[in-house]
Amino acid sequence: MSRLAVPKTYKLFIGGAFPRSESGRTYEVLKADGAFLANAAKASRKDARDAVVAARGAVAGWAGATAYNRGQVLYRIAELLEGRRAQFIAEIEDAEGATRALAAAQVDEAIDRWVWYAGWADKFAQVAGNANPVAGPYFNISVPEPTGVVAVVAPQDSSLVGLVSAVAPALVAGNAVVVVASERYPLSAISLAEVLATSDVPKGVVNILTGSPAEIAPWLASHADVNAIDLVGAADLDWIDLEIAAADTLKRVLRPEQGPDAAAPTLDRISAFTETKTVWHTKSLR
């Protein structure tokens, strides 16, 4: 008697937990050849709002951690990804129809990008900040600080690398993230959530939604408690309307990117979601 497979229903990741969508909706995730692969939760407006609430509650603790500690936490994620490398490779093979070699290269690139960003956690402030020359007996120092809650529309043509490339830089500076994963390739996103849940990342710092970016992104763009939005994966959406909605609540916006270099690792992606605080301090006249 042959054994029946038990297909997994992938859930959302909100506030460190794995809830089903409050709407009860799911959608089928298919293999590259059209065969059934799994079910994924289809997030709703309410799920997006819950994710923002979770992110807002986590910002103070994550931003208040030392930069060195944030680097340690991000590096731990890379360690856990390395330990589950085979699982991610298999998921990318199934979902994208990639060869094992190409899938392995994608996973390795994702791990390497986590390590790269982890290394900058306690260094980027020295590059992005400055000691400003001023007339008078004062120290004038500018330092970058996190902007708060960052919403992200992840690249839609990538299972893992695009997601990591958009989420990691926002975390480096101390922001909390709500990310809408690739609608077609969501499995690696929730597997990454399982990694985050077993790492040292505080609950609510990363929240992952699966489903339709066209449905969820407008609510995140217009949400008054979201401070910035990265539209890197929104090229196929009405992203200008999203940018207008973001402007109504004075959000910082990164526009869509396309091609193999979309969301490539740069310091600009870290500093894009920071605010500059300038401090004046009197010099001793002795």
Crossing angle between the packed helical segments 85-96 and 100-120, to the nearest 10 degrees: 130
Q: Are 249 and 219 in contact (CB under 8 A)?
A: no
> For residue 279, what is the enclosing H or E element?
strand 274-282
CA separation, residue 87 to residues 76, 107, 195 (Å): 18, 10, 11
Q: How far apart are CA 193 and CA 179, in angstroms?
A: 11
**Contact residues for 29 (Cβ-Cβ < 8 A; gap 6+):** 10, 37, 38, 39, 40, 95, 184, 185, 186, 187
Q: How far apart are CA 231 and CA 155, in angstroms?
A: 9
pLDDT at res. 129: 86
Q: How far apart are CA 153 and CA 180, in angstroms?
A: 5
Strand order, beta sheet including 274-282: 130-131, 138-146, 274-282
Q: Where are the alpha helices (DSSP H) in 7-152?
A: 45-64, 67-83, 85-96, 100-120, 124-128
Spatial CA neighbour of 206 closest among 154, 274, 155, 161: 154
Per residue of the chain (286 residues), give pLDDT as tens.
788 877 778 999 999 999 999 999 999 999 999 999 999 999 999 999 999 999 999 999 999 999 999 999 999 999 999 999 999 999 999 999 999 999 999 999 999 999 999 999 999 998 998 888 888 888 888 889 999 999 999 999 999 999 999 999 999 999 999 999 999 999 999 999 999 999 999 999 999 999 999 999 999 999 999 999 999 999 999 999 999 999 999 999 999 998 878 899 999 999 999 999 888 888 876 6
pTM equals: 0.93
Report the alpha-carbon angle 123-191-73, nearest 5: 25
- First-to-last CA distance in the chain? 90
Strands, E assignment, 147-262 = 149-153, 176-180, 206-209, 228-230, 252-254
pLDDT at res. 286: 63
Counting every residue written for the chain, the total comes to: 286
The label of the residue with tokens 């790492």 reads 199
